[in-house]
Amino acid sequence: METIIKKAQILIEALPYIQKLAGKTVVIKYGGNAMISDELKNSVMEDITLLKYIGLNPVVVHGGGPDINKALDKLNIKSEFVNGLRVTDAKTMEVAQMVLVGKTNKEIVSLLNKKGGKAIGLCGIDGNLIECEQYKPDIDGKETDIGYVGKITRINSKVIELIAKDEYIPVIAPIGVGPDGQSYNINADTVAGEIAIALKAEKLMLLTDVEGVKTASDGEVLSALTVSEVHQLIEKKVINGGMVPKVLGCVEALENGVGRTHIIDGRIPHCILLEIFTNKGIGTMIMKEKVLYHSGEKL
């Protein structure tokens, strides 16, 4: 009986969040180990399907680095990275598009459909969904050509809105298109952030392979941060390495109309539900200001 009562208490704890988020858009960047483990794959798909059934509008943006690496290895094409971005020549671009759009995207769509969702796979080429130009990063003070890597110039959000606000779940591969029709590979975190901004999403959720932003002293996960606190932690080197671009992407989204952003550990089963529908969450939530959804929320 105690176990049953606890389950009821969990549902009651979720109620104010369900009420607050009904009809709102949640953009989820799906990647990392959550894409590798079958158990975690199923867990994430169940979470996303449930979000749709209880009245939210989930939009999924996925990566696919491990799948691309495997395909390139089979073709004896060397993988090379600069500043965390894949150097993408013509052959690599062809493989990346084939894998992300033809394999990874359709696997996610199929998994969501098996869970009872109605998923539709898209990439940035469809309806010129993600317009971009070639991105040349600054490396040692010099603009560097790393191939067909895209910098987003425009998100045509109408296609996504039509699908997401109906009964469907958009699943988007991070391939953009240039003005000449050329395809470009784009970082999935970047795509998720820009889509969240374009949709004025209530939430942007980044599934990662870390627990969230941690304190320097005892490694405790910081459950809620404001934009000003993020900048302070970067200055103090508490936030460093690969976490810096993730939190700055969250900050940019918040400054352009997104309600809340979340960095969560995709290795935890049902991480999306635990972050959205519990008072404390499991990862790090970043907001412009600490404004409560309801009085029981613990920030």
Q: Is 65 annotated as a binding residue?
A: yes
Among 3.40.50.300, 3.40.640.10, 1.10.580.10, 3.40.1160.10, name the CATH number for the domain at 2-287: 3.40.1160.10
CA distance 26 to 272: 11
The answer, as to whether pTM is greater than 0.85, is yes
64 annotated to a ligand binding site:
yes
At 240, the pLDDT band (50, 70, 90 cuts) reads confident
Question: CA-based Rg of the chain, rounded to a whole angstrom?
Answer: 19
Please state the rounded mean pLDDT for residues 53-65: 95
CB atoms within 10 A of CB 167: 9
Q: Which residues, 6 or more positions from 4, have their beta carbon under 8 angstroms from its beta carbon?
A: none
User: Tokens 């997104």, residue?
Assistant: 258
Most confident of the following: 25-34, 146-155, 210-219, 286-295: 146-155
Note whether 33 and 209 are within 8 A (CB). yes
User: Phi/psi at 179 (nearest 5 deg)?
Assistant: -60, -20
Q: Is 187 helix (H, G, I), strand (E, B) or coil?
A: coil
What are the extents of the domains in the chain? 2-287
> Annotation-wise, does 86 bind a ligand?
yes
Enumerate the β-bridge partners of residue 210.
none
What is the C-alpha to C-alpha distance for residues 32 and 37, in angstroms, rounded to an integer? 10
pLDDT score for 92: 95
Is the predicted pLDDT of residue 269 greater than 90, yes or no? yes
Q: Which of 105, 149, 147, 151 is nearest to 131 (CA)?
A: 151
Question: Each residue of 68-118: pLDDT tens digit?
Answer: 999 999 999 988 888 778 899 999 999 999 999 999 999 999 999 999 999
Confidence (pLDDT) at 128: 95
User: Would the annotation count 257 as a binding residue?
Assistant: no
CB neighbours of 269 closer than 8 A, spacing ≥ 6?
39, 40, 43
Q: What is the mean pLDDT of residues 152-158?
A: 96
